Amino acid sequence: MLVIPAVDVLGGAVVRLFQGNYDAVTTYSHAPAAVASRWVRAGASIVHVVDLEGARSGTPSPGLWLDLGDTGVPFQVGGGIRDVSTARGAIGCGATRVVIGSAAVHNPVELSAIVSAIGASAVVAAIDVRAGMAVGSGWLDSGATLSEVVGAVVESGVGTALVTGIERDGALDGPNTEILETVRSLAPGLSLIASGGVGSLGDIAMLRDSGYEAAIVGRALYEDRFTLEEAIETADNRKS
């Protein structure tokens, strides 16, 4: 299982939100590209970057993409990428994959168009769940039913979904496995990236043994609950 460090960016700073709340922000750095590079030097195969203001406003920052691309760091990026032109722009700036949330919830036709334009391997669908609903627009809208969104993601041809239990995000009290397993039951063919709540090496071991493709880890790394090297070792050390 891959361990993917999160680099969430708001106002040019690396931050973490608590449960998706833009008024509950902890700042860790003012150099996102440098932080991403540090994670790769520590062993990350890819870094998960979220433009939080882009997610909220629908207008992402190409400058962030360019800064990351200039470092040569492999990264997937989300936040405000809602159409073909923007997705192509992110890939053109160096992103390995784009993470599509709002279009997956509200515009599955455009999600399908993005897949057709840049290829399924370059698209990750973000399925962000609060109170049983899959939400978009920086987690600020009312969303759509989980089954409806998962069905649209599968229909679009996307092969990988990043599943976040928003109530667990930044809380360090363990992933929401109920949501993950619900998505798995609705779409057994999707590769799943678990996100939200990872607070210990035990959480990583549990996700590993549950057969998920990857786990996003954010606050636990920034607050030294464990090192990235320890997380990668745990993710690779599959139970016999």
Give the residue among 142, 61, 152 at the shortest CA–CA distance from 113: 152
Residue 29 in contact with residue 40, Cβ under 8 Å?
A: no
Q: Find the Cα–Cα–Cα–Cα dihedral 91, 58, 125, 143, rounded to 10°.
A: 180
Can you tell me the distance from the alpha carbon of 216 to that of 170, in angstroms, rounded to the nearest whole number? 11
The amino acid that residue 102 corresponds to is: S
Beta-strand relationship, 133-135 and 123-130: antiparallel
Catalytic annotation present for 128: yes
- In the DSSP assignment, the letter for residue 167 is G
Is 8 in the active site? yes
Q: Which two tokens stand for residue 211?
A: 């057969």
List the catalytic residue out of 8, 67, 83, 169.
8
Q: Given 51, 67, 83, 128, which residue is catalytic?
A: 128
Q: Are 126 and 114 in contact (CB under 8 A)?
A: no
Which of 176, 179, 86, 163 shows the shortest CA–CA distance to 126? 163
List the structure tokens of 50: 């979220």
Task: Name the strand (E) or helix (H) holding 43.
Answer: none
Which residues, including other chains, have CB under 8 Å from residue 203's CB and lie 6 or more apart?
174, 175, 197, 215
Active site residues: 8, 128
